[in-house]
Amino acid sequence: MSQSFQSDLSEPLGRVTSARRKVLVTGAAGNIGRYFARHAGHKYDMRLMVRELDADAEQLREFGEVVVANLGDLDSMRKVCEGVDTVLHMAGVPDPSATWGELLQGNIVGTYHLMVAAKAAGCRRVVLASSIHAVSGYPADVQVKTSDPVHPGDLYGVTKCFAEALGRYMATQEGMSVLTIRIGAFQPLEAAQHHEYSLPMLDAFISERDMQQLLEKAIDVEGLTFGIFHGLSDNRFKRLDISDTRELLGYQPQDDSVRESPHLRPLQLHEQIASHNVKDRRQESGLREELSKASAAAAG
């Protein structure tokens, strides 16, 4: 964990302020951006960035100010970042099968422009959407920690490694606060309950409400200048370790893909799988037996 985050020693770690922040959401018409805008408009003053004013973009107006901008245009990015406290950067090409040519402008050049624009505008923080694909090259039986080296499993993951590296540079060398979140399989809870989709996403699932909570925690927390955090629900089996996310952001996920899966729910895995320690009702404690004997001897 020591290599995956950096704190500001002048600020109490984990402190949260109640100030109403101006938040720019890039990719506001995407799945995560749209859900966030719909559920956080009461808490933040929202500027919602879209590529074009189509029907989906028009529906966002009830949640905040809608602006049209292009990640490839640095000048337009500077303008949309003006007066913003926190940038929630959700825009980009989210396709793990994409070619380098398809990824270059949105995920490399666009992320660079966003970071430069945010720095120039004096934004307090950028929350970057990274991905589980930044570490998907690890064997399937490995639970990845934030302190493990990046290990992308596709070119999309490579671009997310770039975003993480750029975020660390901007935090440590340019004085910004940048928190990156490796997002798992973001889906409605109903998807985890679906026979076709529940097993493939079992160890990577993150529900809508858990994602919402995590993003709000990343925006509000004080005392962190840089961090890499894993974004999954409280799944019984987790591809990514979320200990840092719990400890440093105060994240308390509510959902679990195993409890929702139609394949696994009848097996009652939470109750049946042994924890291999004395908290398991099926395992007795030798120490407690000794204490019981000692107490009995003292009483006698």
- Domain borders along the chain are 5-266
Q: How many CB atoms lie within 10 A of CB 65?
A: 14
SS3 178: strand
Cα dist from 239 to 152, 175, 225, 254, 273, whole Å: 14, 32, 26, 17, 18
The fraction of the chain above a pLDDT of 70, given in percent, is: 85
pLDDT higher for 213 or 5? 213
How does the average pLDDT of the chain come out, rounded? Answer: 89
Q: Minimal CA–CA distance to 21: which of 178, 170, 167, 221? A: 221
Residues 263-288: pLDDT tens digits?
A: 766 666 555 555 566 666 666 777 77
- Per-residue pLDDT band for 195 (boundaries 50, 70, 90) equals low
Beta partners for 86? 23, 125
* CA pair distance 278, 215, nearest whole angstrom: 36
Q: Minimal CA–CA distance to 46: which of 56, 59, 32, 36? A: 36
Q: Are 157 and 134 in contact (CB under 8 A)?
A: yes
* CA pair distance 291, 257, nearest whole angstrom: 40
Residue reference for tokens 């019984």 = 236
Residues 133-166: pLDDT tens digits?
A: 999 999 999 999 999 999 999 999 999 999 999 9
Q: Minimal CA–CA distance to 27: which of 101, 91, 93, 120? A: 91
Instruction: Name the pairing type of β-strands 224-231 and 5-7.
Output: antiparallel
End-to-end CA distance of the chain: 50
Residues 225-248: pLDDT tens digits?
A: 999 999 999 998 899 999 999 999
Beta partners for 87? 24, 126
* CA pair distance 295, 300, nearest whole angstrom: 9
Domain 5-266 fold is Rossmann fold (3.40.50)
**H helix runs in the chain, sequence order:** 31-40, 55-58, 74-81, 100-103, 110-121, 155-174, 189-192, 195-198, 208-220, 243-249, 257-260, 269-272, 286-299
pLDDT of residue 2: 46
Q: Are 88 and 215 in contact (CB under 8 A)?
A: yes
